[in-house]
Structure 1
Amino acid sequence: MEQGNIKPNLHIYNIVADALCEDGNLYAAINLLNEIKQKGILPDIVTYSSLNDDLCKLGWWEKVKTLFFEMVNLNIYLNVHTFTILIDGLCKERNVEHAKEVMRHMIEKGVEPDVIIYNAIIDGYCLRGQLERARRIFDFMIDKCIEPSIISYSILINGYCLFEVGRTDDAKRIYVEMLSAGPKPDICTHATLLDGYFKCGFVEEAILLFNKLEIKREDTNTVRIDLRAHTLDLWRG
């Protein structure tokens, strides 16, 4: 196409760049981005999103940062999806402060964070063992009238159970809040809380919780078998 009369447009280049990213050939994708700019074709949000997604997965944060500021300087409108890729990737690397900077920029641009963004920040603080900060973000989200999801509650419960052994009382409080005001806990939430009880030696409490679990009729047999197997593994471990 480049050698013929019909020149490829940005849409074509985006398809090729996305395919290169899918194949893990990021160097070629970055070179293609530079080639596009040299030809005077301005990349758009689709171009950068494909690259940023894979760069975040590989932890190439300096390049992610460079591309982020390129987008800002080109006045490219960053949508929630783009910000989510950046923030989630940074938080998974425990780089919460940079993630919060991106979120502040997001708000300045008039894009309001959603529950997925807040979940990423909460998880980032939990991964760093900063449970009090994680809880403050959780409460701030509620103050902003954003309803926590089952993932929001589960992240905090997981943090208290796994990253600060001995704080199962805090995990239990979150669990009680979830029962009274939040979505119904799923098997992963229950398993995480049971794990925390066993690690702290609260065997009787774990058995009591296990016996009180409310399970839908149609899933009763399968879920009970799965949960019992998981509980026995924790007990033996």
Structure 2
Amino acid sequence: MKGRGFVPTQFIYTFVVGACVKQGNLEEALSLKDELVASGRPLSLVLATSLMKGYCDQGDLDNALDLYTSVLKQGILPNVVTYSVLIDGCCRNGNVGKAFELYCQMKQTRVSPNVFKVNTIINGFLKKNKWKEALVVFDGAVSFGVVNVFTYNILMHWLFNADKVKEACCDLWDQMEERNRRLVVSNHQLQCG
């Protein structure tokens, strides 16, 4: 682009970096980021978040989290998309503890967690058989009003698979009934009677 006298804008860099990340070409995305920074322009949150996603997609949580820390040091406040990328990346790469830490930071900075992030973290904890931790997230999400029928389905499914039918039927089912939630998966209803 520059060879033809065209100087890309911040928007163009951000768009192309995002496209490179989507294609799995993190190396080119990082090269473009370096070019942008070398031209004296600041790194935007959107561009940084795209790079974090690229790192997470390649299983490189360390660099994703280093970039997150760098963004914070520059005084750039993460948004729900940034947190979502990192929480998903941490859970996909087996670091649910870090995902929960980011979830807590998200709430502390008054970025509202959505039901998808809550479900991701709960599911991540349950995959590691950490019921108590999943329940802490669930209870907090209930108090914020950020649960849906899928949240309950995730918990019910795990409880039945863990042979905890009593907890599923007596505790969680009753709670769902109180909140007028209905399970999508009908065989849970059959097992609870």
Q: Do they superpose with TM above 0.5?
A: yes
- Quote the residue 1:167 is aligned against: 164
Using the TM superposition, name which of 103-112 and 64-73 deviates more.
103-112
Superposition pairs for residues 215-226 of structure 1, below 5 Å?
none
> Amino acid of the residue matched to residue 27 of structure 1?
E
- Report the Cα distance in structure 2 between the residues aligned to 1:31 and 1:161, rounded to whole angstroms: 49
- Quote the residue 2:11 is aligned against: 11
Contact 2:83/2:103 (<8 A) preserved: yes
Query: 1:3 Cα shift?
Result: 2.5
What is the identity percentage for the equivalent residue pairs of Structure 1 and Structure 2?
Answer: 25
Q: Could you say what the CA RMSD is over the residues aligned between the two structures, in angstroms?
A: 2.3
TM-score, normalization by structure 2: 0.86
Query: 1:108 Cα shift?
Result: 3.5
Larger CA Rg, structure 1 vs 2 = 1
Superposition pairs for residues 131-142 of structure 1, below 5 Å?
131-142=131-142
Runs of 4 or more, structure 1, over 4 Å off, are none
- Quote the residue 1:190 is aligned against: 186
Task: Encode CA deviations 1:50-87: one digit per residue, 9 max, x unaligned.
Answer: 22223323321111111111211222231112111111
- Report the Cα distance in structure 1 between the residues aligned to 2:53 and 2:134, rounded to whole angstroms: 24
Contact 1:179/1:185 (<8 A) preserved: no
Superposition pairs for residues 208-219 of structure 1, below 5 Å?
none
Superposition pairs for residues 1-237 of structure 1, below 5 Å?
1-143=1-143, 145-162=144-161, 164=162, 166-173=163-170, 174-186=172-184, 189-190=185-186, 193=188, 206=191
Q: Answer 1 or 2: higher relative contact order, Cα 8 Å, separation at least 6.
A: 2
Query: 1:112 Cα shift?
Result: 3.0
How many aligned residue pairs are there?
A: 192
Contact 1:94/1:127 (<8 A) preserved: no
**Secondary structure, counterpart of 2:2 in structure 1:** coil
- Report the Cα distance in structure 1 between the residues aligned to 2:23 and 2:118, rounded to whole angstroms: 31
- Report the Cα distance in structure 1 between the residues aligned to 2:72 and 2:140, rounded to whole angstroms: 27
- Report the Cα distance in structure 2 between the residues aligned to 1:182 and 1:149, rounded to whole angstroms: 11
From the superposition, tell whether residues 12 and 176 of structure 1 become closer, same or farther in structure 2 (CA, over 3 Å).
Answer: same
Unaligned runs of 5+ in 1: 195-204, 210-237
Query: 1:147 Cα shift?
Result: 4.0
> Amino acid of the residue matched to residue 69 of structure 2?
F
Query: 1:169 Cα shift?
Result: 2.0
From the superposition, tell whether residues 117 and 73 of structure 1 become closer, same or farther in structure 2 (CA, over 3 Å).
Answer: same
TM-score, normalization by structure 1: 0.72
Using the TM superposition, name which of 105-114 and 7-16 deviates more.
105-114
From the superposition, tell whether residues 19 and 140 of structure 1 become closer, same or farther in structure 2 (CA, over 3 Å).
Answer: closer
**Secondary structure, counterpart of 1:70 in structure 2:** helix
- Report the Cα distance in structure 1 between the residues aligned to 2:3 and 2:21, rounded to whole angstroms: 24
- Report the Cα distance in structure 2 between the residues aligned to 1:136 and 1:105, rounded to whole angstroms: 15
Contact 1:48/1:67 (<8 A) preserved: yes
